[in-house]
Structure 1
Amino acid sequence: MADSTPLLSDSDKPPETRRSSRSLDETIERCIGGFGWLQIFQAILVSFAWVFDAQQTFISVFTDAQPSWHCTDDSVCDKSSNICQLPKDSWSWDWPAHTSIISEWGHECSTSFITGLPASSFFMGCLFGGLVLATLADSTFGRKNMLLFSCLMMSLSSIFTVFSSNIWIYSALRFINGFGRATVGTCALVLSTELVGKRWRGQVGVLGFFCFTLGFLSLPVMAYVNRGSSWRSLYLWISVPTILYCILVHFLVHESPRWLFVKGRKEEAVTTLKSMAQTASALTMSFSNVLIEQDSASGNDNVDIYSSIKIMLNKRWASQRLAAMMVAGCGIGMVYYGMPLALGNISVNLYLGVTLNALSELPSSLITFFLIGKINRKDSLLCFTILSGVCSVMCVVMGRVWPSLQIAMELISFFNACTAFNMALIYTLELFPTCVRNSAIAMVRQALVFGGVFSPLLVAAGRKNNLISFGVFGVAIGICGLPLIWLPETRGGTICDTMDEEEHKQNEKAAAAIPTLA
């Protein structure tokens, strides 16, 4: 439902209440009609990048898995034996050796550092990629071009991964893959939400999470179909479609009009808004007034590369918000990326376990989609992190007392981590203005990835003791969520475009909270 506040013309407003952010919001609302068919199409197309993001993130669950094996000489071999202490001719893999990098390159007896190196390299690449590329979408490239660059780099590096000859080259290419992938979800989220009005901001943001779930769900299907084929074919299955997707985005998706306004490219922004207008009255509206009103919004924050990070650090309120969200993101990321990798440590079929984890993202996205406009961001995020932590610790207890319920606790913990992941991105999107929004979300995503860097190592160490993996996961997400207590609530608030506007809004809230003295 559109904002119930009457839309006044600029001449009707007193000088002290004229605000460029409201003028821009009204302009976008009038031009795109809230959420027309063109916005639906573009939001879906942009959000579809999350499908490829999910596939690249979790593909190592299958390509880097420890394959099952069987004895060929019962006189010296037993299924309970240590494979590293058996003669090579006394056992054999259940599937061809080329189905996994572990069996193809003979790393079944390598240390957990070696076997976990490719997955950790991917997350390290995501971390560095986020730090290097985070502000380019805010400063020079824009949302659309950065999305194209990231998708292309992710796809091409994945194709080159097919030609890896050893685990070291493979790990290096996984690092490059993670580097390129780092900003895909961020750009897709920001671009899709900035193409629509306030009413649909949360729902469009959740649309990306549905696409991520779709990508996650597609992995066990493709892996099962290719279960006897080389792990290299799985990379081709997820790489080639990404290139075709980039072509569609280049020709069919608009750049964010908000970003164009903030960067001073007002004529391009007006052209974009006109092309997205839903009605004849919107087409004939006076864009010249908008150009004049947006001078203040585009002049103060026309920043260079990386200066948006400096802007946030120079503002105490912004640095406090960023720090709190990054701490929470680190704990959420440790559970979110670690749980699927840890499925091999519990008694469950790998294909079934990954499918159940992927399916648990679906109700998570549905809950976020339907309740995003009704629930408080801060309180719900706190609840999800605490519940995820408790259930993760319960995985350790159930593994020792009631092993059959261990997968249930794992699924509940992962479900809450997924919902917390979704809510954290929506919350961050609303906490920061347009001029630094992409950078803020990118930094929070890097905190999520930073938690994921440690997940493969904890999972490898937890193969003998689940307390090292599931126990650490639970404690980390529970403690890291506590700084959220000091953040403001953003549900139903107006999205701002500059730092000054955000400060003005906070000052107004603070003044309203002070009781009037007689």
Structure 2
Amino acid sequence: MADSTPLLSETNSAEPEPPVLHKHLPSLDATIERCIGDFGWAQFLQAFLVAFSWFFDAQQTFITVFTDAVPTWHCTLLTEQPNSCNSASNICQLPQNAWAWDRAKHTSIISEWNLECSSSLITGLPASAFFIGCSIGGLALATLADTSLGRKNMLFLSCLVMSLSTFFTAFSTNIWIYSVLRFITGFARATIGTSALVLSTELVGRRWRGQVGVMGFFCFTLGFLSLPAIAYALRAHSWRTLYFWTSIPTLLYSIMVHFLVCESPRWLFVRGRKEDAIETLKCLAPVNSTTIKAPLTPSFISSLSFEQETWKVDLYSAIDALVKRKWAFRRLSAVMAIGYGIGMVYYGMPLALGSLEFNLYLSVTLNALSELPASLITFFFIDKMNRKTSVLVFTSLSGVCSIMSVLKGIHPIWTRLQIGFELVSFFSACLAFGVLLIFTIELFPTCVRNSALSIVRQAVVLGGVFSPMLAASGRANGGFLSYGVFGVVIGVCGWFVVCLPETRGRGICDTMDEEEFKVTNIACNAVGDHV
């Protein structure tokens, strides 16, 4: 049978029908790039607007570093024994009139609600509640972006709910209501990063996928950097003000996403919504561009053919497919283990900065700044970096430097170098985090990519669940239960990368059958070479 479209695979009619596993139509990568090219200004603006959600995500992730910090205090002249009060004293063992906060009580929840003598379980509860919300939200909402809602709607709803819960957090009356609202904020923001990363990378061609994915990391860094600047400007105001001024811009941004962002054409095609996908491609296609390899004419649109998923898609079928297929479950388990180790350092170290003998605003700024070169390195060298080697090297370096921070008491020089080791460890964890997210995108096909990436991010967040408790406990034992544990965990978890295939330079697939065909082909070729 003659076929006028080059998108359909041709078979020899004289030969027997090949097995179903080996019948494959072209992937969406080639189809979409023929329509809109691999990159254009419309795609860039869309990808940047989507990636900017990471800016607000970063603010809510680390905002408790300032709102929940233990304020500085000083001795007063009201005590009958002046020598009994000094900077090394435990304020819980001093009379109430022997000391006072350096600033107004409303600058921190610790001073406003008199939590200075509470256990680390109580003071760390809001931050832990946030990460627990992230974990539960990630599991509950993981597949919605792959199934019913899509990438755009999931991003819009996540940003909207996060902004509203952040706004209401400013009106908390006690630590229990505050912790519940932090839990809701974490639950809502759980899918922001994954939806934004997947949507932005699916709007461009294969050549620019890595660079566009890194755009989100830049925005996250900017959001992290904005926190110490805003907190310093509002240092004399209530901690509630910080929540208020970070919620309003997020609300405005969510409205922009609803009206200005396009849905992923790849997701629309996979879901069978060809007409909607074509409209999106028309919006993204450059005007009068010579890079387009096929015009979006009615005849071309009607001839579009590509492989679609064969299994029934429902709310949690994506997770079911990831678990039941051995190659997918093996990959998912490995990247989750790596993500858990990275998350413990990535989220734990900024939260533990209050235990260092450095200015809090300066140390947070230095940590945020260390994300910038990490994002730049990933942006410019992601195409040249082997995924497996990079993850292993960065996690190992992060683990070693984190453990070195524990040795600060052995010699005075270690104390001076402590912040340096901490920065190198955090910097390496940022590099590993960025490469791992790009790695995960390349390991899983379009139909389950958002679900897989969301699950991996929740594994990262799960590492952050225990970080606030470890950070609070580490203040009492020289950092062993914080930096020491962080280093051991990320160092051990990084070795799970040896279970994964290398994906650098490899095209991404769109269906589970297509990816399984590729896995089977690689295995057969390896056996043939061995024989």
Q: What TM-score do you get using the length of structure 1 for normalisation? A: 0.95
Per-residue deviation at 1:187? 0.3
**Contact persistence 1:262–1:302 (CA under 8 A):** no
Give the corresponding residue for 2:476: 464
Q: Secondary structure at the match of 1:70?
A: strand
Give the corresponding residue for 1:55: 59
**Whole-Å separation in 2 of the counterparts to 1:399 and 1:126:** 36
CA spacing shift, 1:247–1:202, aligned 2, 3 Å: same
What letter matches 2:73 in structure 1? W
Structure 1 counterpart of 2:507, from 494, 509, 514 = 494
Per-residue deviation at 1:11? 6.4
Give the corresponding residue for 1:3: none
Task: Answer yes or no: is 1:312 the counterpart of 2:322.
Answer: yes
Structure 1 counterpart of 2:523, from 494, 502, 510 = 510
Task: Answer yes or no: is 1:30 the counterpart of 2:43.
Answer: no
Give the corresponding residue for 2:168: 160
Q: Secondary structure at the match of 1:35?
A: coil
Task: Answer yes or no: is 1:103 the counterpart of 2:107.
Answer: no
Q: Secondary structure at the match of 1:319?
A: helix
**Contact persistence 2:231–2:242 (CA under 8 A):** yes
Structure 2 counterpart of 1:9, from 3, 6, 11 = 6
Give the corresponding residue for 1:203: 211
**Whole-Å separation in 2 of the counterparts to 1:433 and 1:243:** 32
Task: Answer yes or no: is 1:343 the counterpart of 2:340.
Answer: no
**Whole-Å separation in 2 of the counterparts to 1:215 and 1:43:** 17
What letter matches 1:317 in structure 2? W
What letter matches 2:369 in structure 1? L
Give the corresponding residue for 1:428: 440
In the TM superposition, what whole-angstrom CA distance separates every residue of 1:467-490 from its partner, at most 9, and x where no partner exists?
Answer: 111110000001111111010000
- Count of aligned pairs between the two proteins: 509
Give the corresponding residue for 1:5: none
CA spacing shift, 1:178–1:21, aligned 2, 3 Å: farther
**Contact persistence 2:7–2:304 (CA under 8 A):** no
Q: Secondary structure at the match of 1:92?
A: strand
**Whole-Å separation in 2 of the counterparts to 1:121 and 1:508:** 45
Per-residue deviation at 1:515? 3.8
Task: Answer yes or no: is 1:323 the counterpart of 2:333.
Answer: yes
249-258 vs 505-514, greater mean Cα deviation: 505-514
**Contact persistence 1:262–1:301 (CA under 8 A):** no
**Contact persistence 1:333–1:452 (CA under 8 A):** yes
- The unaligned stretches of length 5 or more in structure 2 are 13-17
Task: Answer yes or no: is 1:20 the counterpart of 2:17.
Answer: no
In the TM superposition, what whole-angstrom CA distance separates every residue of 1:411-454 from its partner, at most 9, and x where no partner exists?
Answer: 00000011111111110010000000000000000000000000
CA spacing shift, 1:264–1:227, aligned 2, 3 Å: same
Give the corresponding residue for 1:415: 427
Q: Equivalent residues in 2 for 1:346-385 (5 A)?
A: 346-385=356-395
What letter matches 2:102 in structure 1? D
Structure 1 counterpart of 2:268, from 233, 247, 260 = 260
- Superposed CA RMSD: 1.8
Give the corresponding residue for 2:308: 297
What letter matches 1:9 in structure 2? P
**Contact persistence 1:20–1:293 (CA under 8 A):** no
Per-residue deviation at 1:118? 0.3
Give the corresponding residue for 2:50: 46
In the TM superposition, what whole-angstrom CA distance separates every residue of 1:347-402 from its partner, at most 9, and x where no partner exists?
Answer: 11100000000000001001110110001111100111111000000000134322
**Whole-Å separation in 1 of the counterparts to 2:418 and 2:222:** 25
Per-residue deviation at 1:9? 2.1
Q: Secondary structure at the match of 1:108?
A: coil
Q: Secondary structure at the match of 1:148?
A: helix
CA spacing shift, 1:51–1:302, aligned 2, 3 Å: farther
Give the corresponding residue for 2:295: 284
In the TM superposition, what whole-angstrom CA distance separates every residue of 1:33-71 from its partner, at most 9, and x where no partner exists?
Answer: 211110111111000000000000000000000000001
What letter matches 1:188 in structure 2? A
**Whole-Å separation in 1 of the counterparts to 2:471 and 2:530:** 58
Give the corresponding residue for 1:4: none
**Whole-Å separation in 2 of the counterparts to 1:33 and 1:293:** 16
What letter matches 1:510 in structure 2? A
What letter matches 1:20 in structure 2? L
* % same residue: 62
**Whole-Å separation in 2 of the counterparts to 1:331 and 1:113:** 22
What letter matches 1:38 in structure 2? A
**Whole-Å separation in 2 of the counterparts to 1:516 and 1:392:** 42
CA spacing shift, 1:370–1:287, aligned 2, 3 Å: farther
CA spacing shift, 1:399–1:358, aligned 2, 3 Å: farther
**Whole-Å separation in 2 of the counterparts to 1:511 and 1:220:** 54
Per-residue deviation at 1:250? 1.2
In the TM superposition, what whole-angstrom CA distance separates every residue of 1:249-289 from its partner, at most 9, and x where no partner exists?
Answer: 11111100000011111111111112211255667345656
Per-residue deviation at 1:504? 1.0
**Whole-Å separation in 1 of the counterparts to 2:513 and 2:60:** 39
Q: What TM-score do you get using the length of structure 2 for normalisation? A: 0.93
Q: Secondary structure at the match of 1:163?
A: coil
**Whole-Å separation in 1 of the counterparts to 2:475 and 2:311:** 50
In the TM superposition, what whole-angstrom CA distance separates every residue of 1:209-264 from its partner, at most 9, and x where no partner exists?
Answer: 00000000000000000011000110111110011111111111110000001111
**Contact persistence 2:391–2:436 (CA under 8 A):** yes
**Contact persistence 1:189–1:205 (CA under 8 A):** yes
Per-residue deviation at 1:339? 0.3
Per-residue deviation at 1:508? 2.1
- The unaligned stretches of length 5 or more in structure 1 are 1-7
The structure in which a higher percent of residues are helix is 1
CA spacing shift, 1:11–1:389, aligned 2, 3 Å: closer
